[in-house]
Amino acid sequence: MRSFCTEGPVDPENNYTVPRTQLLEIGMQKVDDWRYFTLFAPRQSGKSTYFQFLADKIRLNRPGYLPLWVSFEAYGNAEESFFLHALFKRLCLRLQQYGMGMDPAWQPDRMAALSDFFHRVSIHFGKQIILIVDEVEGLKNAGVLNAFLHSIRDIYHDRKQFGLRSVILVGVSNITGILQDTASPFNIADQITIPYFSFEETADLLLQHTRETAQTFDPDVIAAIHENTSGQPGLVNALARDLVEQRCPGEPVITLAAFYKTLDAFLRLYVDKNIANVVNKAKQHPEIMNQILFDGPVNYTTYDDRISFLRMNGVIVDDLGVCAIPVPIYKKCLYQTFKPLMNGNGEIRYFKDPFVDEAVFLDDNGHLDMERLLDRYAGYILERGNIIFSGEKAKEGVYHYNLDAYLASYASVFGGSVFPEAPEGGGRVDLLMIQGGKRWIVEVKRFLTVRGFEKGKMQLIQYLKRAGLSQGYYVVFSDLHDQQSKDRIMIDGLEIIWWILPVKTKNPSS
């Protein structure tokens, strides 16, 4: 039985696989056309799997080609002589896998000799070489990398004579951004972008498991996995593996309830390498991350080194000219990493009355009473709004986080969880709380206009319809209102309870 792969390149014999057939055809066409090209994407995006599949396809369909894969990951600050020796040894090992061997005398003694080396290999084996260089930025010695790329550029102009049919550079950053003066064969037209899985590819991966084991994923779970990961290959496989092996081993159906347990574990308990890498990269530029998360739109420009760094490491993307975090799980974890202390953990002591048992917020069935909880929250804002939202006008993300932290402080007492920006019923709601098998949807907005306020109600109605819930909650923060207000309204047979919470109230002494 195959499994979901979380440890690196996919092995089709042992792992469920998304074939990326169209992308492989694009790569094959470039190789056929003697093109040198780049393959760049964030980590755990499927790069290694792609080029290994491409190498397999080349060996199977083009007997006159010789694909050779090497990695620069461990080269670091290697000097030229060590680099050439290590490169030669790696190529020898690769050829041994094919039952071929090279004479040690062929080893190049200087970078300029690489052209003669590849020519000799091509002539000896009667094949045209495709050189695949993985982790190209792992070679930290800029002088050596520069010299290597110069050699490749020189070969490129006479590549048919030297027999080096194609060179593919693989990494997490764009080579033209590393050394622009040496990258002429690798212009912008000769890049392959490895996109995340589409919904159809995500569904196909999960259904392969169903076909082999008869264990099914509820359709809402398939949608939730894709929604929370945006199809990021490493995360899709990691969530699916946890559901199959930890949450639901032997169970006939994987349910949404199980999915939320997995999601909670990834957000709070597990140290997932994909998430950890993104968080660590984001921590290198905290100022701009706080702007993106909490202070409103940040214009995207590739000429800002901070933005370029975050993009090439998979933290952000260019979304119509604005920096956006593309993967909801990443955003949730970054949200927890960069949360404003005053609006989260620092406020917990004010969320509750230490002399009142939290059980007063339970109904007769042992479920939390959301309306009573939000009434309590309105009182908290009345008392603390001037302090926690003082100074410059707070942005919607800050309000959102404060309410999230408040609800989580009660949910955790009774075995519940709060998920920010969670998928529910085919849409993405601001806050989803689950406790004792019951769900609540809370929409959070900042009051800007009456039209926007009313639009938020209709948005919440659509979420309720898709989720099959009869009641929803709408919390609106306003620096334009002087008085708190609360009301309820029925729309299409569904009830919305709403609060407008002024965040700039008069001081008691006034």
Owner of token pair 């009869």? 470
CATH code for position 417? 3.90.1570
Q: In this predicted structure, what is the pLDDT of residue 270?
A: 87
Q: Tens digit of pLDDT for each residue in 257-282?
A: 899 899 989 988 888 888 998 999 99
Q: What is the mean pLDDT of residues 216-243?
A: 94
Lowest mean pLDDT among 85-94, 247-256, 290-299, 308-317: 290-299
From CA 187, how far away is CA 95, in angstroms rounded? 30
Q: Which own/partner pairs from 98-106 qualify as long-range (CB within 8 Å, at least 24 positions apart)?
A: 98/66, 100/125
Predicted confidence (pLDDT) at residue 470 exceeds the cutoff of 90: yes
Same structural domain, 348 and 491: yes
From CA 128, how far away is CA 130, in angstroms rounded? 7
From CA 488, how far away is CA 473, in angstroms rounded? 9
> In the beta sheet, which residues pair with residue 441?
432
Report the run of H or E that residue 167 belongs to, with start and end. Answer: strand 164-171
Q: Tens digit of pLDDT for each residue in 341-393?
A: 555 556 777 888 887 889 999 999 999 999 999 999 999 999 888 777 765 55
In a domain, 14, yes or no: no
From CA 403, how far away is CA 30, in angstroms rounded? 52
> In the beta sheet, which residues pair with residue 21?
none
Same structural domain, 250 and 299: no
From CA 190, how far away is CA 202, in angstroms rounded? 27
Same structural domain, 128 and 162: yes
Q: In this predicted structure, what is the pLDDT of residue 29?
A: 96
From CA 283, how far away is CA 378, in angstroms rounded? 33
Q: What is the mean pLDDT of residues 185-204?
A: 84
Same structural domain, 71 and 174: yes
Show which of 147, 174, 193 is a domain's final residue. 193
Same structural domain, 386 and 492: yes
Same structural domain, 160 and 30: yes
Predicted confidence (pLDDT) at residue 510 exceeds the cutoff of 50: no
Average pLDDT, the chain: 88
Q: Tens digit of pLDDT for each residue in 59-76?
A: 999 999 999 999 998 899
Q: What is the mean pLDDT of residues 79-95?
A: 94
Predicted confidence (pLDDT) at residue 183 exceeds the cutoff of 70: no
DSSP state of 245: I
| Count of structural domains, the chain | 4
Same structural domain, 210 and 113: no
Same structural domain, 449 and 306: no
Same structural domain, 504 and 358: yes
From CA 186, how far away is CA 36, in angstroms rounded? 6
Q: In this predicted structure, what is the pLDDT of residue 60?
A: 95
Same structural domain, 362 and 501: yes
Do residues 126 and 162 touch, judged by C-beta distance below 8 A? no
Report the run of H or E that residue 416 belongs to, with start and end. Answer: none
In a domain, 12, yes or no: no
What pTM was estimated for this model as a whole? 0.80
346: number of CA atoms within 13 Å, CB side? Answer: 8
Show which of 173, 193, 213 is a domain's final residue. 193
Do residues 409 and 353 touch, judged by C-beta distance below 8 A? no
Closest C-alpha among 436, 418, 429, 493 to residue 459 = 429
Residues in the chain: 510
Grouping H, G, I as helix, E, B as strand and the rest as coil, residue 40 is strand
> In the beta sheet, which residues pair with residue 420?
431
Structure tokens at 234: 């490493």
Do residues 495 and 471 touch, judged by C-beta distance below 8 A? yes
Q: In this predicted structure, what is the pLDDT of residue 395?
A: 64
Higher pLDDT, residue 401 or 138: 138
Predicted confidence (pLDDT) at residue 478 exceeds the cutoff of 80: yes
pLDDT-derived band at 3 (thresholds 50, 70, 90) equals very high
Q: What is the mean pLDDT of residues 192-214?
A: 95
Predicted confidence (pLDDT) at residue 184 exceeds the cutoff of 70: no
Domain limits for position 372: 339-510
